[in-house]
A and B are shown apart, each in its own frame.
Chain A
Amino acid sequence: MALDNRFQASMMHTDTTALIHTIDFLLMIPYPKKSAKLIMGNPLWRRLSLILISFLIALPLYATPKQDQAAFRKHYQLVFPQLKLADYANGVYAIDEIARQSWLAIEEFPPYETAIEEGKKLFNTAFSNGKHYAHCFPNKGIADEYPKWSKTQGEVITLAIAINNCRTSQHEPALPYEKADMVNLLAYLSHTSRGKPIHVTIPKNDPRAMSAYEQGKAFYYQRQGQLNFSCATCHIQNAGKKLRSEILSASLGHTSNWPTYRLKWGEIGSLHRRFAECLTQIKAEPLPEQSVEFRNLEYFLSYMGNGIPISGPSTRK
């Protein structure tokens, strides 16, 4: 907990007393006499609540996504000084040498190959109107651009949503997100984008995009569930440490390797399925795949991981 707070605090500016004085002062500037009375003439709790409100209003100005990203990476640089940015694409196998050996052995004959082949077949199968997925996705290697902000729809569009948008535009029924067809298509598209660095952008001309990013960030740091953990509890505060026999991975690069064949699942599954599993593990209510919260979280995490190469599909324990 202490670490968590320290990390949060380091992301904002620190010296609190100085800050309180500054804010007192700033609040007084526009209407000197009235404000002086309002601030100085009120009991302490009211002063503090005023300060708190102004602080909350000022908060978004403090950390831009770029600053968030820098602070996020700086933390991992301190914990894992030996890692380069691209290494984070391998998740926990970048830091767990023993697990890495068995993972490399699996990767020689990976169990996700069938999914790629199935996905390729689906991608090249014509819709009933004779058109293909290629009509919507002229370039196949596009997984690095997602999730994307869509100004027209006013929401974060993940690759899975984009696939279903494509299907609806061609008068085909949408695919269920958790079923094999969708995951196989994602596997194929991710495979064709392998090695491309993630580049997710937050358009400046649409404040809703920024708000989606902020919501994703808030979700990441929000403690929830019966265990009262946030994503950060495991993946920032305790990254690299052991949780029973497993080593906890860094959040940097969490979105780069999906879909993933997990040995635990015995099949290939999507990032949002893993998100839901994380929530179950901290004894919180899991959310459905492609829910707004998960998409915003993916948006935030992908932005943090900008520049890390796509390594999906992959295998994980």
Chain B
Amino acid sequence: MSSIKIRTKRLDGNTQIRTLISHPMEHGRNKDKVTNKLIPAHYIQVLTVTHNGKTIATCNMGAGISKDPYFAFLLKGGNPGDAIVINWVDNLGNKDSEKHTIT
């Protein structure tokens, strides 16, 4: 199961893209309540959004963004059937990608 969920909606000839990503987004300064040790940092560093293969947004994310981040963009234009691909890479080298077709 992908960690990325994407929804799109056509609004007055534009396309609203919304995405919800399941990710712990640990910034490295939280302590484990039981062991009292620091929880190692684990957060998304780069998020990219492509529209029909062309990159439309690159987000350099830091540790300050909250758990399970949610983003919404408004894409000018966009047609039903266009492909939206969102992928992320985190500081531990994990990555995920999800494809969505505008309806």
Q: Which residues of A contact B (CB under 8 A)?
A: 108-109, 111, 113-114, 117, 121, 266
Known: A109-B7, A114-B5. 4 other contacts (CB 8 A): A109-B5, A109-B20, A109-B70, A111-B20
B18 touches A111 (CB 8 A): no
A114 touches B22 (CB 8 A): yes
Partner of A109, one of B18, B66, B68: B18
* Complex Cα–Cα for A114 and B21 (A): 10
| B-side contacts of A121, CB under 8 Å | 1
| Closest A residue by C-beta to B67 | A266
Report, as a range, how many residues of chain B touch the other chain.
10 to 19
* Complex Cα–Cα for A113 and B1 (A): 12
Partner of A113, one of B5, B18, B66: B5
Nearest 4 CB-CB pairings of A with B: A109-B7, A109-B18, A114-B22, A117-B1
| Closest A residue by C-beta to B20 | A109
B37-71 interface (Cβ within 8 A of A): 66-68, 70
The smallest C-beta distance from A315 to any residue of chain B, in angstroms, reads 12
Per-position binary interface string of chain B over residues 52-92, scored 1 when its CB falls under 8 Å from any chain A CB and 0 otherwise: 00000000000000111010000000000000000000000
| A-side contacts of B20, CB under 8 Å | 109, 111, 113
| A-side contacts of B70, CB under 8 Å | 109, 111
B68 touches A111 (CB 8 A): yes
| B-side contacts of A117, CB under 8 Å | 1
| Closest A residue by C-beta to B9 | A108
Most buried by B among A109, A111, A113, A117: A109
| B-side contacts of A113, CB under 8 Å | 5, 20
* Complex Cα–Cα for A109 and B6 (A): 9
Per-position binary interface string of chain B over residues 1-44, scored 1 when its CB falls under 8 Å from any chain A CB and 0 otherwise: 10001010000000000101010000000000000000000000
The smallest C-beta distance from A288 to any residue of chain B, in angstroms, reads 18
| B-side contacts of A109, CB under 8 Å | 5, 7, 18, 20, 70
